[in-house]
Amino acid sequence: MTAIMIQGTGSNVGKSMIVAGLCRAAKLRGLSVAPFKPQNMSNNAAVTADDGEIGRAQALQALACGLDPHTDMNPVLLKPETDVGSQVVVNGKRLTTAKARDYAKLKPTLMQAVLDSFNRLNAQHDLVLVEGAGSPAEVNLRKGDIANMGFAQAAGVPVVLCGDIDRGGVIAQIVGTQAVIDPADAALVRGFFINKFRGDPTLFDDGYQMIKDHTGWDGYGVLPWFADAWKLPAEDALDIRSAPSKDGVHIVCLKLSRIANFDDMDPLSQEPGVRLTMLGAGQPLPADTDVVIIPGSKSTRGDLAFLREQGWDTDISAHVRRGGHVLGICGGYQILGHRIDDPDGIEGLPGCDIGLGLLNINTTMTGDKRLTQVDAIHAPSALPFHGYEIHKGRSDGPDCARPFATIGNHQDGAISADGRISGSYLHGMFRDDAFRAHWLGQFGVTQTAAYDQTVDQVLNDLAAHLDTHMDLDAFFAITL
């Protein structure tokens, strides 16, 4: 049984995408391969078949492997709720909410859960490709580490470093990492590769050799910039961006401060007849907006206040008066109602917040969390789609008599009497090509893309990209 761990010289160097590409490349070589990330931090989560949640990147990597997502692929998930605290999810279920200092004390107790998940995957597959978190050069975090070298030492897994040349200083990134980490940790490193090179990679030949000479590590290649990376679901909110400029229906998604499950927008961004704008803080709603989407949030009450701080409540009211449409998803659905009651302080201090009042509903926050995949029927069109729920709280009111969808005997969401304001707790609805085509058809879009087929092709292209520019035969042969 074999495992290889990709660690980065920093955050956002492309580890998640590279592991997805390596997973697909291994699968195309006939290997049984699975992804693994000991600890992830993301508010973009995927719901697994066993009704747990893992980071969205591991769900994409599972797809690259031809596997269903499983909680073993990401046993510890941190979901930031404030600037200083996160929800701690272990084996797919919420364990607690902890501030950073408290989590540092909790973290060592989670190593056994991490190793148990890893060992189960390792026993089932020829290869496990492990993704680190942040950087092993953050040696101040080494004590009790379960995400990088702490895990690699405990599991006996060799490490390959990924450096990001696009941000500059890649020689110092890699050589400096070797200089600051413990020699025992450095002994686990089998080599490095360079990511995000723009232009002719041979221009870096001298720098590449310098890294090899200074570290004594093997080099596995220099990867040129992969232009289609934007077509793969992004996990980090820093990565979400507006679609390339084009004509078509103008959909504006509010980039909330605690935006969650924002990959709901990915299928829309790839549509040829859609112009998607991710509206950032301080930016007014464009006058030519056709549809406003208020996305999911890890802190609904906090993001309702954030929305008002930007003046977006006033902009949305004007948009609706002009005949515009609004869709709220999950936390965004709750924001559209009259009230959000939080008597037990689920999202902070107990209290009640006044919503936008665009849907005649009220929401009560509850401690129980609904976490499940669903097969739903869109009520207005009777079209089926697959999605998932991942939320706390329940909503009800007169507009719920016009549900957005039905799930068996259960009704979801609400639609205003004039049909222009709608809300749903269901994520992932736009991945379904037929549903998305219908929904966009309301706004005059006639040509639509095949989303899952596109993602699968991009994974194949990414695997070919890695095969061309990395020595994958040597990489897959790495052992301790």
Residues carrying an active site annotation: 330, 427
| Tokens matching residue 331 | 């936390």
Q: Is 66 left (phi over 0), alpha (psi -120 to 50) or beta?
A: left
CA pair distance 186, 329, nearest whole angstrom: 45
Give the count of beta carbons closer than 10 Å to the beta carbon of residue 93.
13
**Helical pair 312-321 and 300-309, crossing angle rounded to 10 deg:** 80
Q: Which helix (H) or strand (E) covers residue 159, if one does?
A: strand 159-164
CB-count burial class (<10 Å; 0-12, 13-18, 19+) for 203: exposed
Distances (CA, A) of 39 to 43, 85, 144, 240: 13, 16, 12, 21
- Termini Cα distance of the chain: 12
CA pair distance 187, 85, nearest whole angstrom: 34
| Tokens matching residue 137 | 């050069």
| Tokens matching residue 458 | 């991009």
**Dihedral sign (CA 80, 427, 402, 449):** positive
Nearest C-alpha neighbor of 295 from the set 310, 309, 307: 307
Contacts 24+ apart (CB under 8 A), 314-318: 315/284, 315/285, 316/285, 316/292, 316/356, 316/358, 317/356, 318/285
* DSSP letter for each residue of 216-239: -PEEEEEEEP-GGGGGSPP-SGGG
Residue-level length of the chain:
480
Look up residue 49 and give its DSSP letter: T
